[in-house]
Structure 1
Protein backbone atom coordinates (compact mmCIF):
# COMPACT_ATOMS: atom_id res chain seq x y z
CA UNK A 1 0.00 0.00 0.00
CA UNK A 2 1.34 3.43 -0.95
CA UNK A 3 2.12 5.87 1.84
CA UNK A 4 3.78 8.66 -0.15
CA UNK A 5 3.24 10.50 -3.44
CA UNK A 6 5.97 12.53 -5.13
CA UNK A 7 4.94 15.05 -7.76
CA UNK A 8 6.89 16.85 -10.43
CA UNK A 9 5.95 20.53 -10.33
CA UNK A 10 5.85 22.08 -13.79
CA UNK A 11 3.14 20.50 -15.89
CA UNK A 12 1.82 18.33 -13.06
CA UNK A 13 0.95 20.78 -10.29
CA UNK A 14 1.38 24.11 -12.07
CA UNK A 15 0.82 25.10 -15.70
CA UNK A 16 4.16 26.89 -15.85
CA UNK A 17 6.30 25.24 -18.54
CA UNK A 18 5.44 27.79 -21.26
CA UNK A 19 7.08 30.47 -19.11
CA UNK A 20 10.11 28.30 -18.36
CA UNK A 21 10.50 27.49 -22.06
CA UNK A 22 10.25 31.13 -23.16
CA UNK A 23 12.78 32.15 -20.49
CA UNK A 24 15.30 29.54 -21.64
CA UNK A 25 14.87 30.47 -25.32
CA UNK A 26 15.42 34.17 -24.63
CA UNK A 27 18.40 33.65 -22.31
CA UNK A 28 20.19 31.22 -24.64
CA UNK A 29 19.69 33.72 -27.48
CA UNK A 30 21.74 36.23 -25.50
CA UNK A 31 24.63 33.75 -25.69
CA UNK A 32 24.20 33.23 -29.42
CA UNK A 33 22.53 29.83 -29.06
CA UNK A 34 19.28 29.19 -30.93
CA UNK A 35 16.85 26.98 -29.01
CA UNK A 36 13.16 26.31 -29.67
CA UNK A 37 10.48 25.97 -27.03
CA UNK A 38 9.76 22.47 -28.33
CA UNK A 39 13.37 21.47 -27.59
CA UNK A 40 12.94 22.71 -24.02
CA UNK A 41 9.80 20.59 -23.57
CA UNK A 42 11.68 17.51 -24.74
CA UNK A 43 14.29 17.84 -21.96
CA UNK A 44 11.89 19.11 -19.29
CA UNK A 45 12.87 17.95 -15.82
CA UNK A 46 16.61 18.45 -16.16
CA UNK A 47 18.10 20.96 -13.72
CA UNK A 48 19.81 24.12 -14.97
CA UNK A 49 23.22 22.47 -15.21
CA UNK A 50 21.80 19.74 -17.43
CA UNK A 51 19.87 22.19 -19.62
CA UNK A 52 22.92 24.41 -20.12
CA UNK A 53 25.19 21.46 -20.93
CA UNK A 54 22.71 19.98 -23.43
CA UNK A 55 22.31 23.12 -25.51
CA UNK A 56 25.90 24.30 -25.35
CA UNK A 57 26.96 20.85 -26.54
CA UNK A 58 24.42 20.98 -29.39
CA UNK A 59 25.97 24.31 -30.39
CA UNK A 60 29.46 22.79 -30.29
CA UNK A 61 30.47 24.90 -27.33
CA UNK A 62 31.58 24.38 -23.74
CA UNK A 63 30.21 26.73 -21.06
CA UNK A 64 32.70 28.61 -18.94
CA UNK A 65 32.50 27.61 -15.25
CA UNK A 66 31.03 30.97 -14.20
CA UNK A 67 28.28 30.76 -16.81
CA UNK A 68 26.14 28.27 -14.89
CA UNK A 69 25.25 30.65 -12.07
CA UNK A 70 25.00 33.63 -14.42
CA UNK A 71 22.63 31.89 -16.84
CA UNK A 72 20.56 30.54 -13.96
CA UNK A 73 20.16 34.03 -12.50
CA UNK A 74 19.16 35.44 -15.88
CA UNK A 75 16.66 32.67 -16.52
CA UNK A 76 15.19 33.00 -13.01
CA UNK A 77 14.73 36.75 -13.38
CA UNK A 78 13.07 36.31 -16.78
CA UNK A 79 10.71 33.63 -15.46
CA UNK A 80 9.70 35.57 -12.35
CA UNK A 81 9.04 38.69 -14.41
CA UNK A 82 6.97 37.01 -17.12
CA UNK A 83 5.39 34.17 -15.12
CA UNK A 84 1.60 33.94 -15.26
CA UNK A 85 1.38 30.31 -14.20
CA UNK A 86 -1.77 28.85 -12.66
CA UNK A 87 -2.65 25.58 -11.01
CA UNK A 88 -4.47 22.86 -12.89
CA UNK A 89 -8.15 22.82 -12.00
CA UNK A 90 -8.96 20.68 -8.98
CA UNK A 91 -5.36 19.81 -8.03
CA UNK A 92 -5.16 21.88 -4.86
CA UNK A 93 -8.43 20.46 -3.56
CA UNK A 94 -7.29 16.95 -4.43
CA UNK A 95 -3.93 17.26 -2.67
CA UNK A 96 -5.48 18.93 0.34
CA UNK A 97 -7.77 15.93 0.62
CA UNK A 98 -4.87 13.48 0.21
CA UNK A 99 -2.65 15.13 2.81
CA UNK A 100 -4.16 13.49 5.93
CA UNK A 101 -3.56 10.02 4.46
CA UNK A 102 -0.33 10.34 2.45
CA UNK A 103 3.05 11.99 2.80
CA UNK A 104 3.44 14.37 -0.13
CA UNK A 105 6.56 15.71 -1.82
CA UNK A 106 7.65 17.72 -4.86
CA UNK A 107 10.74 16.82 -6.91
CA UNK A 108 11.39 19.45 -9.58
CA UNK A 109 14.26 20.29 -11.87
CA UNK A 110 13.58 24.02 -11.52
CA UNK A 111 15.68 26.16 -9.22
CA UNK A 112 14.82 26.52 -5.54
CA UNK A 113 13.56 30.11 -5.69
CA UNK A 114 11.04 29.31 -8.41
CA UNK A 115 9.85 26.00 -6.96
CA UNK A 116 9.32 27.32 -3.44
CA UNK A 117 7.61 30.50 -4.66
CA UNK A 118 5.15 28.50 -6.77
CA UNK A 119 4.41 25.99 -4.01
CA UNK A 120 3.98 28.70 -1.37
CA UNK A 121 1.61 30.59 -3.65
CA UNK A 122 -0.51 27.72 -4.91
CA UNK A 123 -0.04 24.83 -2.43
CA UNK A 124 0.74 26.39 0.97
CA UNK A 125 1.26 23.86 3.75
CA UNK A 126 0.66 20.87 1.48
CA UNK A 127 4.09 19.28 1.04
CA UNK A 128 6.25 17.45 3.56
CA UNK A 129 9.35 17.83 1.35
CA UNK A 130 10.37 19.92 -1.65
CA UNK A 131 13.36 19.02 -3.83
CA UNK A 132 14.60 21.55 -6.38
CA UNK A 133 17.18 21.24 -9.12
CA UNK A 134 19.72 22.93 -6.85
CA UNK A 135 19.26 20.34 -4.11
CA UNK A 136 20.84 17.50 -6.08
CA UNK A 137 24.19 16.96 -7.76
CA UNK A 138 22.63 15.05 -10.65
CA UNK A 139 19.26 16.06 -12.06
CA UNK A 140 16.70 13.98 -13.92
CA UNK A 141 17.03 11.43 -15.58
CA UNK A 142 19.37 10.45 -12.75
CA UNK A 143 17.44 8.83 -9.86
CA UNK A 144 18.88 11.24 -7.28
CA UNK A 145 15.89 13.67 -7.14
CA UNK A 146 13.39 10.90 -6.38
CA UNK A 147 15.73 9.00 -4.10
CA UNK A 148 16.24 12.23 -2.15
CA UNK A 149 12.49 12.83 -1.91
CA UNK A 150 11.88 9.31 -0.57
CA UNK A 151 14.63 9.84 1.99
CA UNK A 152 13.12 13.12 3.21
CA UNK A 153 9.68 11.53 3.50
CA UNK A 154 11.17 8.81 5.69
CA UNK A 155 9.65 6.03 3.60
CA UNK A 156 10.85 3.14 1.44
CA UNK A 157 10.70 3.64 -2.32
CA UNK A 158 8.21 0.80 -2.68
CA UNK A 159 5.86 2.78 -0.44
CA UNK A 160 5.89 5.78 -2.80
CA UNK A 161 4.95 6.54 -6.37
CA UNK A 162 5.70 9.39 -8.74
CA UNK A 163 3.51 11.59 -10.93
CA UNK A 164 5.42 12.95 -13.95
CA UNK A 165 4.69 14.61 -17.28
CA UNK A 166 8.09 14.46 -19.01
CA UNK A 167 10.29 11.67 -20.39
CA UNK A 168 13.37 12.58 -18.32
CA UNK A 169 11.28 12.68 -15.16
CA UNK A 170 9.73 9.30 -15.87
CA UNK A 171 13.19 7.90 -16.57
CA UNK A 172 14.39 9.34 -13.26
CA UNK A 173 11.53 7.67 -11.37
CA UNK A 174 12.10 4.33 -13.08
CA UNK A 175 15.86 4.56 -12.47
CA UNK A 176 14.97 4.98 -8.80
CA UNK A 177 12.90 1.80 -9.00
CA UNK A 178 9.58 3.50 -8.42
CA UNK A 179 6.07 3.18 -9.84
CA UNK A 180 5.34 6.15 -12.10
CA UNK A 181 2.12 7.69 -13.37
CA UNK A 182 2.54 9.77 -16.54
CA UNK A 183 0.36 12.63 -17.68
CA UNK A 184 0.84 14.10 -21.21
CA UNK A 185 0.43 17.78 -20.35
CA UNK A 186 2.63 19.28 -23.05
CA UNK A 187 3.93 16.27 -24.97
CA UNK A 188 2.22 13.45 -26.84
CA UNK A 189 1.46 10.42 -24.68
CA UNK A 190 3.69 8.38 -26.98
CA UNK A 191 6.72 10.05 -25.41
CA UNK A 192 5.69 8.85 -21.95
CA UNK A 193 5.58 5.13 -22.67
CA UNK A 194 8.11 4.28 -19.95
CA UNK A 195 5.52 5.20 -17.30
CA UNK A 196 3.70 2.34 -15.56
CA UNK A 197 0.37 4.08 -16.03
CA UNK A 198 -0.61 6.95 -18.33
CA UNK A 199 -3.65 9.10 -17.59
CA UNK A 200 -5.05 11.25 -20.38
CA UNK A 201 -5.46 14.51 -18.47
CA UNK A 202 -5.65 16.10 -15.02
CA UNK A 203 -9.26 15.08 -14.51
CA UNK A 204 -8.31 11.43 -14.94
CA UNK A 205 -5.29 11.94 -12.68
CA UNK A 206 -7.50 13.39 -9.94
CA UNK A 207 -9.92 10.48 -10.30
CA UNK A 208 -6.99 8.05 -9.93
CA UNK A 209 -5.68 9.82 -6.82
CA UNK A 210 -9.13 9.97 -5.26
CA UNK A 211 -9.48 6.24 -5.84
CA UNK A 212 -6.28 5.64 -3.87
CA UNK A 213 -7.55 7.91 -1.11
CA UNK A 214 -10.76 5.91 -0.84
CA UNK A 215 -8.79 2.69 -0.49
CA UNK A 216 -6.95 4.22 2.48
CA UNK A 217 -10.23 4.98 4.25
Structure 2
Protein backbone atom coordinates (compact mmCIF):
# COMPACT_ATOMS: atom_id res chain seq x y z
CA UNK A 1 0.00 0.00 0.00
CA UNK A 2 1.34 3.41 -0.94
CA UNK A 3 2.02 5.82 1.90
CA UNK A 4 3.82 8.55 -0.01
CA UNK A 5 3.50 10.27 -3.40
CA UNK A 6 6.41 12.15 -4.94
CA UNK A 7 5.74 14.61 -7.75
CA UNK A 8 7.97 16.15 -10.33
CA UNK A 9 7.16 19.85 -10.46
CA UNK A 10 7.45 21.24 -13.98
CA UNK A 11 4.86 19.66 -16.27
CA UNK A 12 3.21 17.69 -13.46
CA UNK A 13 2.18 20.33 -10.92
CA UNK A 14 2.76 23.54 -12.86
CA UNK A 15 2.69 24.34 -16.57
CA UNK A 16 6.13 25.93 -16.44
CA UNK A 17 8.37 24.07 -18.88
CA UNK A 18 7.80 26.49 -21.79
CA UNK A 19 9.37 29.22 -19.64
CA UNK A 20 12.24 26.99 -18.51
CA UNK A 21 12.90 25.99 -22.11
CA UNK A 22 12.89 29.57 -23.36
CA UNK A 23 15.25 30.62 -20.57
CA UNK A 24 17.71 27.84 -21.38
CA UNK A 25 17.64 28.65 -25.11
CA UNK A 26 18.34 32.32 -24.44
CA UNK A 27 21.15 31.65 -21.97
CA UNK A 28 22.93 29.06 -24.11
CA UNK A 29 22.78 31.53 -27.01
CA UNK A 30 24.93 33.88 -24.93
CA UNK A 31 27.61 31.17 -25.03
CA UNK A 32 27.20 30.59 -28.78
CA UNK A 33 25.48 27.25 -28.24
CA UNK A 34 22.34 26.70 -30.30
CA UNK A 35 19.64 24.79 -28.45
CA UNK A 36 15.98 24.28 -29.35
CA UNK A 37 13.09 24.21 -26.91
CA UNK A 38 12.28 20.65 -28.06
CA UNK A 39 15.78 19.57 -27.04
CA UNK A 40 15.18 21.01 -23.57
CA UNK A 41 11.94 19.04 -23.25
CA UNK A 42 13.84 15.88 -24.16
CA UNK A 43 16.23 16.24 -21.21
CA UNK A 44 13.73 17.73 -18.75
CA UNK A 45 14.37 16.63 -15.19
CA UNK A 46 18.14 16.96 -15.23
CA UNK A 47 19.53 19.54 -12.84
CA UNK A 48 21.47 22.56 -14.12
CA UNK A 49 24.80 20.74 -13.99
CA UNK A 50 23.43 17.95 -16.15
CA UNK A 51 21.81 20.35 -18.63
CA UNK A 52 25.01 22.36 -19.01
CA UNK A 53 27.15 19.24 -19.44
CA UNK A 54 24.78 17.83 -22.07
CA UNK A 55 24.69 20.86 -24.33
CA UNK A 56 28.30 21.90 -23.90
CA UNK A 57 29.22 18.30 -24.70
CA UNK A 58 27.09 18.31 -27.85
CA UNK A 59 28.89 21.47 -28.92
CA UNK A 60 32.23 19.77 -28.41
CA UNK A 61 33.11 21.97 -25.46
CA UNK A 62 33.98 21.39 -21.81
CA UNK A 63 32.45 23.84 -19.30
CA UNK A 64 34.88 25.49 -16.90
CA UNK A 65 34.17 24.81 -13.24
CA UNK A 66 33.02 28.34 -12.40
CA UNK A 67 30.60 28.54 -15.29
CA UNK A 68 27.93 26.35 -13.68
CA UNK A 69 26.90 28.94 -11.10
CA UNK A 70 27.17 31.75 -13.65
CA UNK A 71 24.84 30.01 -16.11
CA UNK A 72 22.43 28.94 -13.35
CA UNK A 73 22.07 32.53 -12.15
CA UNK A 74 21.47 33.79 -15.69
CA UNK A 75 18.93 31.07 -16.41
CA UNK A 76 17.12 31.75 -13.12
CA UNK A 77 16.92 35.47 -13.91
CA UNK A 78 15.54 34.76 -17.41
CA UNK A 79 12.94 32.38 -15.99
CA UNK A 80 11.76 34.63 -13.16
CA UNK A 81 11.52 37.63 -15.49
CA UNK A 82 9.40 35.84 -18.08
CA UNK A 83 7.58 33.21 -16.00
CA UNK A 84 3.83 33.03 -16.56
CA UNK A 85 3.42 29.50 -15.21
CA UNK A 86 0.10 28.31 -13.80
CA UNK A 87 -0.95 25.28 -11.78
CA UNK A 88 -2.73 22.58 -13.73
CA UNK A 89 -6.48 22.72 -13.23
CA UNK A 90 -7.74 20.65 -10.33
CA UNK A 91 -4.33 19.64 -9.00
CA UNK A 92 -4.35 21.82 -5.89
CA UNK A 93 -7.74 20.47 -4.84
CA UNK A 94 -6.61 16.94 -5.55
CA UNK A 95 -3.43 17.26 -3.50
CA UNK A 96 -5.25 18.97 -0.64
CA UNK A 97 -7.45 15.91 -0.41
CA UNK A 98 -4.51 13.46 -0.76
CA UNK A 99 -2.68 15.13 2.13
CA UNK A 100 -5.05 13.46 4.60
CA UNK A 101 -3.92 9.99 3.50
CA UNK A 102 -0.39 10.34 2.09
CA UNK A 103 2.93 12.00 2.75
CA UNK A 104 3.60 14.29 -0.21
CA UNK A 105 6.90 15.41 -1.71
CA UNK A 106 8.35 17.20 -4.72
CA UNK A 107 11.54 16.07 -6.48
CA UNK A 108 12.49 18.55 -9.19
CA UNK A 109 15.57 19.18 -11.29
CA UNK A 110 15.01 22.95 -11.14
CA UNK A 111 16.93 25.11 -8.68
CA UNK A 112 15.55 25.67 -5.21
CA UNK A 113 14.64 29.33 -5.67
CA UNK A 114 12.35 28.51 -8.58
CA UNK A 115 10.86 25.33 -7.10
CA UNK A 116 10.01 26.86 -3.75
CA UNK A 117 8.59 30.02 -5.29
CA UNK A 118 6.25 28.00 -7.52
CA UNK A 119 5.19 25.64 -4.73
CA UNK A 120 4.60 28.49 -2.28
CA UNK A 121 2.50 30.30 -4.85
CA UNK A 122 0.38 27.41 -6.13
CA UNK A 123 0.59 24.69 -3.43
CA UNK A 124 1.11 26.41 -0.08
CA UNK A 125 1.30 24.04 2.87
CA UNK A 126 0.89 20.93 0.72
CA UNK A 127 4.31 19.27 0.67
CA UNK A 128 6.21 17.63 3.50
CA UNK A 129 9.48 17.60 1.54
CA UNK A 130 10.87 19.51 -1.44
CA UNK A 131 14.00 18.26 -3.22
CA UNK A 132 15.52 20.63 -5.79
CA UNK A 133 18.26 20.16 -8.36
CA UNK A 134 20.69 21.85 -5.99
CA UNK A 135 20.01 19.33 -3.22
CA UNK A 136 21.59 16.40 -5.05
CA UNK A 137 25.00 15.58 -6.47
CA UNK A 138 23.51 13.63 -9.36
CA UNK A 139 20.33 14.77 -11.11
CA UNK A 140 17.83 12.66 -13.00
CA UNK A 141 18.12 10.03 -14.52
CA UNK A 142 20.25 9.11 -11.52
CA UNK A 143 18.05 7.68 -8.72
CA UNK A 144 19.42 10.14 -6.14
CA UNK A 145 16.56 12.72 -6.29
CA UNK A 146 13.90 10.10 -5.57
CA UNK A 147 16.03 8.14 -3.13
CA UNK A 148 16.62 11.34 -1.16
CA UNK A 149 12.91 12.22 -1.16
CA UNK A 150 11.99 8.73 0.05
CA UNK A 151 14.60 8.89 2.80
CA UNK A 152 13.38 12.29 4.01
CA UNK A 153 9.77 11.08 3.99
CA UNK A 154 10.84 8.22 6.26
CA UNK A 155 9.34 5.60 3.96
CA UNK A 156 10.49 2.57 1.99
CA UNK A 157 10.65 2.67 -1.80
CA UNK A 158 7.83 0.12 -2.12
CA UNK A 159 5.60 2.48 -0.10
CA UNK A 160 6.05 5.34 -2.57
CA UNK A 161 4.63 6.33 -5.94
CA UNK A 162 6.22 8.83 -8.34
CA UNK A 163 4.39 11.02 -10.87
CA UNK A 164 6.60 12.11 -13.78
CA UNK A 165 6.18 13.70 -17.20
CA UNK A 166 9.72 13.41 -18.57
CA UNK A 167 11.75 10.43 -19.82
CA UNK A 168 14.74 11.20 -17.57
CA UNK A 169 12.40 11.53 -14.60
CA UNK A 170 10.74 8.19 -15.30
CA UNK A 171 14.17 6.63 -15.65
CA UNK A 172 15.22 8.16 -12.33
CA UNK A 173 12.17 6.75 -10.56
CA UNK A 174 12.68 3.28 -12.02
CA UNK A 175 16.40 3.38 -11.19
CA UNK A 176 15.31 4.07 -7.60
CA UNK A 177 12.99 1.05 -7.74
CA UNK A 178 9.81 3.10 -7.35
CA UNK A 179 6.41 2.62 -9.00
CA UNK A 180 5.97 5.41 -11.56
CA UNK A 181 2.96 7.03 -13.19
CA UNK A 182 3.77 8.92 -16.38
CA UNK A 183 1.84 11.85 -17.82
CA UNK A 184 2.78 13.06 -21.34
CA UNK A 185 2.40 16.80 -20.80
CA UNK A 186 4.82 18.01 -23.45
CA UNK A 187 6.11 14.86 -25.20
CA UNK A 188 4.56 11.87 -26.94
CA UNK A 189 3.42 9.23 -24.44
CA UNK A 190 5.67 6.66 -26.17
CA UNK A 191 8.66 8.47 -24.67
CA UNK A 192 7.35 7.51 -21.20
CA UNK A 193 7.16 3.80 -21.99
CA UNK A 194 9.32 2.86 -18.97
CA UNK A 195 6.62 4.11 -16.57
CA UNK A 196 4.43 1.48 -14.91
CA UNK A 197 1.28 3.37 -15.94
CA UNK A 198 0.84 6.24 -18.39
CA UNK A 199 -2.27 8.43 -18.03
CA UNK A 200 -3.50 10.56 -20.93
CA UNK A 201 -3.82 13.93 -19.21
CA UNK A 202 -4.21 15.68 -15.87
CA UNK A 203 -7.89 14.87 -15.59
CA UNK A 204 -7.06 11.17 -15.81
CA UNK A 205 -4.19 11.63 -13.35
CA UNK A 206 -6.53 13.27 -10.84
CA UNK A 207 -8.98 10.37 -11.22
CA UNK A 208 -6.17 7.86 -10.65
CA UNK A 209 -4.89 9.62 -7.52
CA UNK A 210 -8.39 10.10 -6.16
CA UNK A 211 -9.05 6.39 -6.57
CA UNK A 212 -5.91 5.63 -4.53
CA UNK A 213 -7.20 7.78 -1.72
CA UNK A 214 -10.71 6.30 -1.93
CA UNK A 215 -9.31 2.77 -1.69
CA UNK A 216 -7.54 3.68 1.54
CA UNK A 217 -10.76 5.08 2.95
Q: Please give the TM-score of this superposition, normalised by the length of structure 1.
A: 1.00
Distance 1:142 1:169 in 2: 9
Question: What are the equivalent positions in structure 2 for 1:24-43 lying under 5 Å apart?
Answer: 24-43=24-43
Tell me, in whole angstroms, the C-alpha distance in 1 between the residues paired with 2:133 and 2:212: 29
Residues 85-104 of structure 1 aligned to structure 2 (within 5 Å)? 85-104=85-104
Could you list the runs of 5+ residues in structure 2 that have no partner in the other structure? none
Q: Is residue 2:144 matched to residue 1:144? A: yes
1:59 aligns with 2:59: yes
1:16 maps to 2:19: no
- Tell me the distance in 1 between the aligned counterparts of 2:177 and 2:62: 33
Instruction: Find the counterpart in structure 2 of residue 128 from structure 1.
Output: 128
- Runs of 4+ in structure 1 deviating by more than 3 angstroms, as ranges, are none
Q: How big is each residue's C-alpha offset from its partner over 1:161-184, in whole Å with a ceiling of 9 and x where there is no partner?
A: 100000000000000000000000
Match of 1:6, SS state, is strand
Displacement of 1:41 after TM fit? 0.2
CA distance in 2, matches of 1:84, 1:216: 36
Deviations 1:175-198 (A, max 9, x none): 000000000000000100000000
Q: Quick one: distance in 2 between partners of 1:65 and 1:162?
A: 33
Distance across 1 between alignment mates of 2:151 and 2:141: 18
For 1:202 and 1:3, locate their aligned partners in 2 and report how far apart those are by CA, in whole Å: 21
Cα distance between partner residues in 2 of 1:173 and 1:66:
30
- By how many angstroms is 1:216 displaced? 1.0
What residue is the counterpart of 1:175 in the other structure? 175
Per the alignment, residue 111 of structure 1 pairs with 111
Q: Does 1:165 align with 2:186?
A: no
Q: What SS class does the counterpart of residue 130 from structure 1 fall into?
A: strand
1:25-51 deviations in Å (ceiling 9; x for gaps)? 000000000000000000000000000
**SS of 2:61's equivalent?**
coil
Q: Which residue of 2 aligns with 1:203?
A: 203
Structure 1 runs not aligned, ≥5 long: none
User: CA separation in 1, counterparts of 2:174 and 2:190?
Assistant: 17
* Secondary structure of 2:35 counterpart: coil
Q: TM-score, normalised by structure 2?
A: 1.00
